[in-house]
């Protein structure tokens, strides 16, 4: 097994464990009677590490999972970019929105190509 395969396997396992922990936390919060939004938020957040685990561990479903990861990343960063223009924060500076735009373009490229950049 090469180093790259080992890192991919390790990343997939860690992402799967993290997604499981987030889903367990969502279930715990739902059963303890916390506010209605908290369990849903944790369950939705667990989708991202689950997709990364699928992309790392399943060669059959790798391309669709990577496309979804890139799309989610691009949408999240586009939201942050829009928020930086609507509510500018002086501590971010002038380069903040440019950095968000560059990262958003990277997410779009990953979603369009369906593979990690090499």
What confidence score (pLDDT) does residue 92 get?
67
pLDDT tens figures, 71-113 = 888 888 888 888 877 877 776 666 777 777 787 788 888 888 8
| 42 and 84 assigned to the same domain | no
**What would the mean pLDDT of 19-38 be, rounded to a whole number?**
88
Query: Does residue 117 surpass a pLDDT of 70?
Result: no
| 23 and 74 assigned to the same domain | no
| 38 and 89 assigned to the same domain | no
| 1 and 46 assigned to the same domain | yes
CB atoms within 10 A of CB 29: 19
Domain that holds residue 78: 61-118
What pTM does this model have? 0.77
What confidence score (pLDDT) does residue 33 get?
80
| 53 and 85 assigned to the same domain | no
| 50 and 103 assigned to the same domain | no
| Number of domains observed in the structure of the chain | 2
Mean pLDDT estimate for the chain: 84
Query: Does residue 22 surpass a pLDDT of 90?
Result: yes
| 117 and 65 assigned to the same domain | yes
Q: How far apart are CA 111 and CA 105, in angstroms?
A: 10
What are the b/e assignments for 98-114, b being 16+ CB within 10 Å?
eebeebbeebbebbeee
What confidence score (pLDDT) does residue 97 get?
74
| 49 and 65 assigned to the same domain | no
| 50 and 80 assigned to the same domain | no
């Amino acid at each position: 097994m090469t180093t790259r395969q080992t890192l991919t396997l390790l990343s997939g396992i860690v992402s799967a464990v993290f997604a499981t922990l987030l889903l367990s936390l969502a279930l715990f919060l739902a059963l303890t009677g916390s506010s209605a939004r908290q369990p849903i938020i944790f369950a939705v957040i667990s989708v991202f590490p689950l997709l990364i685990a699928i992309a790392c561990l399943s060669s059959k479903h790798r391309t669709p999972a990577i496309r979804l990861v890139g799309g989610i990343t691009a949408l999240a960063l586009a939201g942050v970019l829009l928020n930086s223009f609507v509510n500018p924060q002086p501590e971010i500076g002038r380069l903040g929105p440019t950095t968000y735009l560059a990262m958003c373009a990277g997410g779009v490229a990953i979603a369009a190509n369906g593979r990690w950049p090499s």
